[in-house]
């Protein structure tokens, strides 16, 4: 037994030493840290083929997890993929490297409305990757009553039929919208106002899932829910019985970006990657695989009429949409509120 332990430790030490050596070898390599289910492998392989730069691709499933990991491994990642409010937060804390736009001529492919985002005027630190909304998806075979907004989804008669994103800030923002409060006005007073509504809603939800709500909706385990538009668009592509609605009370619009973290080891490779994914034909591959709202005007021209007509990817702009802003310490208040609600208090 002891011998076994020693062998085990020796192997581990050796393998650690091995890791060290390989990282010291200086070779161009792109460390990409991005959302899960968001960057097609084809695109990564295409980039390596084109430039000869191999890509290390790591994934996360929330902006907060990304930030935690980023802070604990400084000067490691070359490219990250934060959403709008996280870009704002990262800029505020000086954690991003300015992007040299002259190295990325393909930014001209972006639609004008994406080129001057309010969270990063002039795209100094970020380049939009994909955008989208959080909205309601429902199975029209099962749900016959009209669904217009959150109040139509969270009804007692749908108890146990609902799926929702497992994201505290998202959930709270739905209740804020339903109460007519600005989704970025997260104050203790406003949280108290939405608490009873949220308590009622949470009881009706069958599944909280941020990763992939498609299987449960497809198999009929649930019939409606509040999800990311990309997942809804995929469901609609597979079966027209699925419908996507932007909540009448207002909805969250998100813009995910590519950014270079401070002290990134290989800034040039990162800029080359941004330029590569902005090519129309490459951006189209991303849209094919993950049908979110593509901010790339040149790529949109390559999409099929069906893709452009998908209401989840390209919704009519009749509903009041708003992006998230950095709310700082109020995140902890949201976290505490949701812990209380989930424990029935």
Partner 1 sequence: MPQAVAIQPALNVRRPGWRGWGLFAPMVAWLALFVVAPTAILLVYSFFTGEGIGEVDTHFTLENYRRIFKPVYLDLFWRSIVYAGATTILCAMIGYPVAWYIGRAPASRRGKLLMLVMIPFMTSFLIRTYAWFTILHEHGLLNGFLESAHLIPTVFSHPLNILYTPTAVMIALVYTYLPFMILPIYTSVEKLDPSLIEAAADLGAGPTRSFFRVILPLTWPGAAAGILMVFVPAIAMFAVTKIMSGGHIRLIGDEIQEQFEGGGDLPFGSALGMALLILFLVTYWISAGRSAKVLRGT
List residues near partner 1 by CB under 8 A: 2, 5-6, 9, 62-65, 67-68, 71, 89, 160, 166, 168, 205-209, 219-221, 328-329, 331-332, 335, 339-340, 342-343, 345
Which is closer to partner 1, CB of 98 or CB of 328? 328
Nearer to partner 1, 162 or 233 (CB): 162
Count of other CB atoms within 10 angstroms of residue 68 = 12
Nearest approach in angstroms of CB 111 to partner 1 is 30
* Closest CB to partner 1 among residues 155, 216: 216
Query: Kind of pairing, strands 162-164 and 205-208?
Result: parallel
Residues whose CB falls within 8 Å of the CB of residue 310, separated by 6 or more in sequence, listed in order: 233, 236, 237, 291
Half-sphere exposure of 312 (CA within 13 A, CB side): 26
Of 203 and 320, nearer to partner 1 (C-beta) is 203
- Which residue, 9 or 75, has its beta carbon nearer to partner 1? 9
In the complex, minimum distance from the CB of residue 106 to partner 1, in angstroms, rounded to a whole number: 32
Nearest approach, Cβ of 119 to partner 1 (angstroms)?
A: 16
Q: Could you tell me the smallest distance in angstroms from the CB atom of residue 305 to partner 1? A: 35
State in angstroms the smallest separation of the CB of 261 from partner 1: 13
Tokens 């009519």 found at = 316
DSSP letter string, 60-125: ESSHHHHHHHHHHSTTT-SEE--BHHHHHHHHHTT-EEPP-GGG-GGGGGB-GGGSS-TTSGGGSS
Structure token pair of residue 300: 């949109």
């Amino acid at each position: 037994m002891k011998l076994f332990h020693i062998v085990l430790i020796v192997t581990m030490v050796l393998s650690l030493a091995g890791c060290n050596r390989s990282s010291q070898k200086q070779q161009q390599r792109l460390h990409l840290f991005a959302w899960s289910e968001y960057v097609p492998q084809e695109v990564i392989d295409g980039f390596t083929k084109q430039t000869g730069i191999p890509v290390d691709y790591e994934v996360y499933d929330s902006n907060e997890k990304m930030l935690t990991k980023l802070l604990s491994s400084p000067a490691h990642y070359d490219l990250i993929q934060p959403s709008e409010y996280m870009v704002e937060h990262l800029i505020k804390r000086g954690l991003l490297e300015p992007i040299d736009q002259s190295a990325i001529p393909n930014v001209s492919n972006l639609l004008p409305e994406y080129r001057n985002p309010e969270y990063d005027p002039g795209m100094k630190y970020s380049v939009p990757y994909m955008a989208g909304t959080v909205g309601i998806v429902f199975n029209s075979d099962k749900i016959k009553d009209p669904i217009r907004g959150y109040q139509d989804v969270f009804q007692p008669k749908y108890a146990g039929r609902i799926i929702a994103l497992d994201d505290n800030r998202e959930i709270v923002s739905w209740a804020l919208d339903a109460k007519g409060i600005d989704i970025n006005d997260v104050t203790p007073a406003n949280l108290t106002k939405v608490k009873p509504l949220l308590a009622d809603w949470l009881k009706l939800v069958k599944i909280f899932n941020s990763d992939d709500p498609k299987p449960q909706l497809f198999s009929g385990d649930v019939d409606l829910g509040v999800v990311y538009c990309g997942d809804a668009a995929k469901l609609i592509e597979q079966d027209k019985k699925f419908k996507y609605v932007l909540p009448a009370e207002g909805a969250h619009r998100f813009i995910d970006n590519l950014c270079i973290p401070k002290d990134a080891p290989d800034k040039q490779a990162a800029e080359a990657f941004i330029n590569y994914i902005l090519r129309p034909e490459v951006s189209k591959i991303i849209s094919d695989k993950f049908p979110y709202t593509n901010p790339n005007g040149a790529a949109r021209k390559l999409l099929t009429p069906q893709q452009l007509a998908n209401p989840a990817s390209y919704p009519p702009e009749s509903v009041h949409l708003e992006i998230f802003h950095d709310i700082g310490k109020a995140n902890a208040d949201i976290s505490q509120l949701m812990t209380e609600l989930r424990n029935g208090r």
